[in-house]
Amino acid sequence: MEVILKEDISNLGHRGDIVKVAEGYGRNYLLPRKLAMEATTANRAVIEQMKASAVRRSAKEKAEAEQLVTQLNTLALVFTRHVGENDHLFGSVTSSDIAQELAAKGFAIDRRKVQLDEPLKSTGEFHVPVKLHREVTAHISVTVKGEEAAVE
C-alpha cells in the first residue's frame, strides 16, 4: 500500500514523502491517526501544494529551533534523588522529569524530543541531547545528585 506522509515519522520518512507500507500498518495505524493519506492521483496533486507549504514551515521551525539551541546549550539542570549504600539511586531521572524541569524554566519542550536512551540511574553529570528539529539538536547538562535516605 502506498501512502503520503502528513507528518515526519522516524524510520519511515518525512512529511510529503510517498512511501510503501504494509497494508495493516497503513490502514490500522497511519490512516486513523491522520499521519498519512492514501496515495491516489488526486492526493498526489494536493501533496505538491503541501510540500511547498511544508518547506516554508520547516524553514521557520528550523530558525526557531536554532534560536532555542543557544539558550538550551547553556542550561544546566540539577536533580536530587535519594541514594542508598554504594550511591545506589532510588528511582531515576527520566525524559519526562527533564521535560517538566524545562517547563518550569519556561521552555515548552515535549518529552519525546528528549533523546534519553534509558533513564539516568546513577549520580553524576550527563549531557542529554534534545532534538528540536530534524537538523537541530541541543545538548543540556543534567546533574544527578544524591541525597542520603533517612535511616530509622
How far the first Cα of the chain sits from its last, in Å, is: 63
Please name the fold of domain 2-61.
Ribosomal Protein L9; domain 1 (3.40.5)
Radius of gyration of the chain (CA): 21
CA dihedral 72, 75, 81, 85 (to 10 degrees): 110
DSSP-assigned letter for residue 126: E
Question: CA 34, CA 54: separation in Å to the nearest integer?
Answer: 16
Closest by CA position to 12, among listed 37, 143, 21: 21
Question: CA 102, CA 99: separation in Å to the nearest integer?
Answer: 5
Please check whether residue 8 is in contact with residue 15, taking contact to mean a CB–CB distance below 8 angstroms.
Answer: yes
What is each CA distance from 124 to 47, 84, 147, in whole angstroms?
Answer: 48, 15, 13
The C-alpha cell at 7 is: 507528518
Residue 20 has pLDDT above 90, yes or no: yes
Same fold, 2-61 and 71-148: no
H/E stretch holding 134 reads none
Closest by CA position to 36, among listed 52, 12, 54: 12
The string of pLDDT tens digits covering residues 67-124 is 888 888 888 899 988 887 777 788 888 999 999 999 998 888 888 889 888 888 888 8
pTM of the complete model: 0.64
Question: CA 99, CA 136: separation in Å to the nearest integer?
Answer: 17
Query: What pLDDT was estimated at residue 83?
Result: 84
The string of pLDDT tens digits covering residues 41-70 is 888 888 787 777 878 888 888 888 888 888
Beta strands in 15-105 (DSSP E): 18-20, 36-38, 76-83
Domain ranges of the chain: 2-61, 71-148
* CATH class label, 71-148: alpha beta
